[in-house]
Amino acid sequence: MSKVDDKTFIRTWQELGSALAVAKKLQLNLRGTHARRRAIEMRYKITLKSTDKDGKNYHSVGGAYQSQLNLGIRNGTVLVFSDAHFWPGIRTTAFRGLLWAIKELKPVAVINNGDAFDGASISRHPRIMWQQLPSVIDELRACQDALKEIEQAVKPNCKLIWPLGNHDARFESRLSNGSPEFERVAGFRLKDHFAKWQPVWSVWLNDHVVVKHRLKGGIHATHNNTLWSGKTIVTGHLHSLKVTPFSDYAGTRFGVDTGTLADPQGPQFRDYTEENPVNWRSGFAVLTFVDGKLLWPEIAHRFVDDVIEFRGNLIKV
């Protein structure tokens, strides 16, 4: 952990305006300096401006995606899916179930809660033996095809929001680190390829419910997420698909994991899990609001191939 406190970091950044200069003065590594800057900006809701060699000021990379979006929902249904890891030619039961739910429940918002794009060929992890992976363009097209089906299924006024996931970030991180000269060129941002989806770091459905890709990790993540955030918090990332209630003097709130829209035994995961059993489940979450209050969150779960389980019913999709 850095021995440099936030106040010192902020003062140094405001003085020097350069990650390289700040890292050198505070004796930090460059990658850690960028990460610390983003974390401080989000924590204190400030912008630490960067000055290039020509003296021009630019907003920080950490502000590349809107840090927080508040929808102010009082009534209606919100569908939240995550970790679709869309690959060419794969259309899972959970995905078809999501399309069914959109048509049946007519949501006011659909949240793609991170990792729709897998980025298999640009992972920091080395290739496993002679593993065959889809190209970036093939993955982008698979995402576009799947998300277009969602776009066509929703009502015209339904909001489409995409909190960024760690796999999604592979696209821009690879480009910004490997080809920084192309910054702000069209097509080098993930959002350039998905015009109808609003990219954010987190979306607040109202003042009590926040949706973001990840917070805490481990098997107790849903409990710890709501404990530490003080809110009902809906996350993905861990593929666990579950609802954990938490009650204190303030009342009852929930930690929700939206599972994975992919098949847990699908080719996206098969090699690195070595086909071992995984404590993952395929499905998505359904959030219903009445007068600004969230009802008990519901789960739609892949029961068997071509069938989802929802509200005690088996639905063929």
Percent share of the chain, pLDDT over 90: 67
- CA dist 290 and 80 (Å) reads 17
**Cα separation of 168 and 171, whole Å?**
6
Which positions ≥6 away from 50 have C-beta within 8 Å?
17, 18, 19, 57, 58, 59, 60, 61
* CA torsion, ordered 74, 43, 187, 83, to nearest 10 deg: -60
Is there a contact between 82 and 260 (Cβ–Cβ < 8 Å)?
Answer: yes
**Which alpha helices (DSSP H) does the chain contain, by range?**
6-16, 19-26, 30-44, 93-105, 136-153, 169-178, 221-229, 267-273
pLDDT at 50: 76
Write down the pTM of the prediction. 0.80
**pLDDT attached to residue 65:** 66
Residue 59 has pLDDT above 70, yes or no: no
pLDDT digits (tens, 9 = 90+) for 125-175: 888 888 888 999 999 999 999 999 999 999 999 999 999 999 998 888 888
- Of 73-82, 127-136, 244-253, 288-297, the one with minimum mean pLDDT is 127-136
CA distance 123 to 24: 29
Half-sphere exposure (CA, 13 Å, Cβ side) for 99? 17
pLDDT > 60? residue 61: no
Tell me which residue has tokens 């995961």: 269
pLDDT > 70? residue 63: no
Question: What backbone phi and psi angles, to 5 degrees, belong to 313?
Answer: -115, 150
Give the pLDDT confidence of 37-55 residue by residue, as tens digits: 888 887 887 888 876 544 4
Per DSSP, the three-state class of 248 is: strand
Tokens of 15: 């003085």
Q: How many C-beta atoms lie closer than 10 Å to residue 313's C-beta?
A: 8
Confidence band for 2, pLDDT divided at 50, 70 and 90:
low
CA distance 184 to 254: 39
Out of 1-15, 210-224, 263-277, 281-295, which region has the weakest mean confidence (pLDDT)? 1-15
Whether pLDDT at 257 is above 70: yes
Residue type, 50: S
219-241: average pLDDT: 96
Residue 161 and residue 112 in contact, taking contact as beta carbons nearer than 8 Å: yes
239 pLDDT exceeds 80?
yes
Superfamily covering domain 69-316: Metallo-dependent phosphatases (3.60.21.10)
Per-residue pLDDT tens digits for 191-202? 999 999 999 999
DSSP string, 151-202: HHHS-TT-EEEEE--TTTHHHHHHHHHH-GGGTT-TTSSGGGG-TTSEEESE
Provide the pLDDT for residue 94: 98
Q: DSSP 3-state assignment of 138?
A: helix
For residue 125 the two structure tokens come to 């992890």
Domain locations in the chain as residue ranges: 6-63, 69-316
Summarised one tens digit per residue, pLDDT across range 101-122 is 999 999 999 999 999 999 888 8
Q: What's 145's DSSP letter?
A: H
In this prediction, residue 218 has a pLDDT band, given cuts at 50, 70 and 90, of very high
Q: What is the mean pLDDT of the chain?
A: 90
pLDDT of amino acid 302: 98
**Tens-digit pLDDT profile for residues 270-286:** 888 888 999 999 999 99
The closest of 270, 268, 300 to 86, measured between CA atoms, is: 268
